[in-house]
Structure 1
Amino acid sequence: MVKLKKPGDGNMSSQLVMGTIGERLKSARENKRLSLDDVYRIIKIHPKTLEALEKGQLEDKLGGTYVRAFLKNYATFLGLDAVAILEEDSLKKHAVAPGSNPQQSMDGQKKPASKKNDAELLRAVMMIAAIIVSFFILIFGTIKISQFAKNTFSKIKKEPPKPVALKAQTASEKIMPIPKQKALTLTLNASNDVWLKVTVDGKVAFHNILSKKSKETWRAEKEIKLDEIGKPEALKMNVNGKDIDFSKSPTRNIRITHEGVDLEPK
């Protein structure tokens, strides 16, 4: 027997919507007999982040943009319809509560005045327009979000940085050349939670939150790139045993090659 929900039972919160989607994510993962660690090794999303997605708790920690990006990657990996899930999440968050539907309210009351009808109609039109706009932003906007953020940060004028104490450097100059016979070794220490992307020799090795007080090391033959650094001032960087100080002129993009460390590469 199907149990019908009464009109006055209340509105569905965004966390419950995410929880319902999260249950489908978890079920799909378990059907594939994969653990959270198995998924992490393949798509490089931390197990804690995956668990929060399945429990509908990730939006409490990160903004909606990052949550949708994680949700899309995870759903696609599991073979689910990522576009449909994202559309469902967006529409349910903006839907009218069952107990507050304008038409239902009108049915249970006397016929309102003409001005009240006009006001309610205007609100309904605005709500529908907001849902449509949100849908198109979700589908088409996320594709260009990374490029948009990069262009925005590049327009902000900054003073010429001084990455190391040896001599003043401009943002486009390379510092500390590294002998080609040596591999590139990068070590990062985080004094606070930092969002960043690490690419090693053309492959994404890390795209997540580097937790507070954590330490990570990557090695490459030719190139290491850091992009989308959320809090540059919270990072301490060491390249092949030498500390690189860019705290006085924090940058969100760094490229490391044998030619040196390039801050804000073009």
Structure 2
Amino acid sequence: MQNESIGSILYETRIRLGKSVKEVELDTKIRAKYIDAMEHDDFMSLPGSVYAQGFLKVYANYLGLDPVPLVQLYKSTYLERNNYDMQKMPPKIRVKKKKRPRWFKLAIALGVIASIFVGLIVWGAVVQNMAKDRKIIVQNIKTRKTKPTVVASATTSTTEKRAQEQSSTNESSSPSSHRTGENSNLQQIKLKLTGTDGTGSWVRVTVDEEKKFEGLISDGTSRTFKGKSISIRVGNIAGLEILLNGKKVSKDDFEITNGIASKNFSVSSAESSNGQR
């Protein structure tokens, strides 16, 4: 056995027993390529020394051979050679790791802190912009809600100016009326406003060009005003009863502008109204 190699012993024994490599593979569970490697003394193709010795024992027992001499021959032939080759190999060159300077960690820490700081600034700017956008939206909503009031107020002022201009025009164009008023015993007019219809109405009253009242006259509530000239503006004309010197005023006599009813009363108009009746 000393003159023969391990591979030739295994191969000749298998041939003598009439076994094929495929049969050996099925019976021993050793892959065919490893069986072929052992029979050709190519132990470097095996997974390692431990597997090589294990495969060699199993294969030898399967062929009816004593595995001990074969394993010893394997160790003396291959393991000792490998140890000898390893001794001849030059020692491993140790590459000394270059130490990083002390400031390197500090630079990394400063970089991380700077990144966090920049992130906080960006986040704060985004939050601030979002807050501004919300504020603008709220302001727009409030502006939209208050626009009708502004329009109504502007319309009220315009209507008052028109009424005053109309009153002054009437006074200048009818001097006979002034003479009649001066000669008449009627020095003031009396206007009584009473809330009706279960709701009442918003009212603004101006007596002799001075605002005397602005507010709600509720259902069943009455207010009386006296003067030479009285101008009124009514939000809900249907919810208000108007008496001039004790006589009911027709609601058809009012001028309606944007839902606001307005009318001017004076001594001269009261006298002409009495004359017509």
TM-score by length of 1: 0.35
More helix by share: 2
Of structures 1 and 2, the larger Rg is shown by 2
**Higher RCO structure, 1 or 2 (CA under 8 Å, sep 6+):** 1
TM-score by length of 2: 0.34
